[in-house]
Amino acid sequence: MPDPRRHAAEGGRRTGALLLALLAPPALAATLALGASALVTAFLRGVVIPPSRRSEDTRVLDVRPDAREIVLAAGPETTVRGGFSLWFDGGRGHARVGRILATGAGRVVRELETVDRGRLHAGARGRVNGWLFLSPRQTRIPFTAEQVPTQYGPAPAWLFPGGDGATWAVHVHGRATHREETLRGVPVLHRAGLTSLVISYRNDGDAPSSPDGRYGLGDTEWRDVDAAIRFAQERGARSVVLVGWSMGGAIALQTVLRSPRRHLIAGLVLDSPVVDWHETLRGQARLRRIPPVIAALALTAMQSPLSTALTGQSAVVPLADLDLVSRADELTTPVLLLHSADDDFVPSGPSEALAAARPDLVELVLVDGARHTRIWNDDPDRWERAVEGWLRRRSLSGSGSSARR
């Protein structure tokens, strides 16, 4: 005779299983949707909101001041050929790190050139970037501090007079960094006879912020570069070369397409530039191990009215308008691109595609082994030879340069 309690228990289990089968898909779908939405929002906000703090993922294993050596945990950032800046103690400390002396057992011994700020010790954690120059004084070129009038107020800048003052270089830094990033490029432009204006722009922490406090990825920042061109023109510049690094390259490209003073722009020198944000953001998603489907959703959301609610931006970023590969036929200004095939932060593919689309105007210097915006660090002589040669070929050196007529 069947046991009624066992039958009831089995019936309960079957009923529970049936309910789970019926209810789980909607619940699971809702959970997955919430998770995907959170990932999309976090990704988008990380792109357009200036960071308030930086992760310190480089470990200092030993410091040998007498030998002028530092031992770091080996990794992609610490085993590069060229020198770099090491920021530690929450950005309050800074050291300039030089060439590799030895490697092995998960560590790299490098030359410790200087400790400019703070107390560097074994066990410290830090972050790496390519600045090297912390101050315009370190260029050893006379300069003045200036204020460039912009849409939201005066933006600090450094002015390095050069040549006869007829041709100016306007240096534009990248996303989540400051104008010190571009100081590496000033000496070669100075030797070539150009005056250099190293600018700040909205939401970079130096210039006045926009009302929304968000990056426009070039769609808004170009107005501050246009203001810098006006500043140069009012002080005697007859032509301008834009020198852009990373997102500064995207800003420079938007300037040359949209500025009412674009007739003054005689050329662009772009290091590791963002030429196509679609490809760049997909690459950054891969770098952060974000699933491709989430990256695709994020790119779709960024171009919809939904993005303003997710990110706090005042307007949608028109990624298609910022794609210079698809707009290559609109270019009328000579461009020098410097990019590394090993740049995993801003992949070189769009730069290569732009050079292939416009060989009449775009010259590409493609290198191997350098990290993002570290081509100068990897081989300063190569970087400067490329820039000097291009300026000479385009008749942009010294007093003989002129803008497009």
Q: Domain 136-400, what fold?
A: Rossmann fold (3.40.50)
Rounded CA separation 138/156 (Å): 18
Residues written for the chain:
405
- Count of CB atoms situated within 10 Å of the CB of 100: 16
Q: Which tens digit of pLDDT belongs to each residue from 83-117?
A: 999 999 999 999 999 999 999 999 999 999 999 99
Closest CA to 339 of 375, 363, 314, 309: 375
What's the pLDDT score for residue 404?
Answer: 44
What's the pLDDT score for residue 123?
Answer: 97
Q: What is the pTM of this model?
A: 0.90
State the amino acid at position 64 in one-letter form: R
Q: How far apart are the first and last CA of the chain?
A: 103
What's the pLDDT score for residue 292?
Answer: 92
Q: Which residue has the tokens 């970037």?
A: 129
Rounded CA separation 25/113 (Å): 60
What's the pLDDT score for residue 36?
Answer: 79
Q: Are 82 and 119 in contact (CB under 8 A)?
A: no
Rounded CA separation 283/281 (Å): 5
Planar angle of CA 150, 322, 238, nearest 5 degrees: 45
Q: Are 299 and 289 in contact (CB under 8 A)?
A: no
Q: Which tens digit of pLDDT belongs to each residue from 245-264?
A: 999 999 999 999 999 999 99
Domain ranges of the chain: 58-129, 136-400
pLDDT < 50: residue spans in the chain: 1-23, 32, 400-405
Rounded CA separation 356/361 (Å): 10
Q: Which tens digit of pLDDT belongs to each residue from 342-379?
A: 999 999 999 999 999 999 999 999 999 999 999 999 99
State the amino acid at position 206 in one-letter form: D
**Helix or strand (DSSP H, E) at 365:** strand 362-367
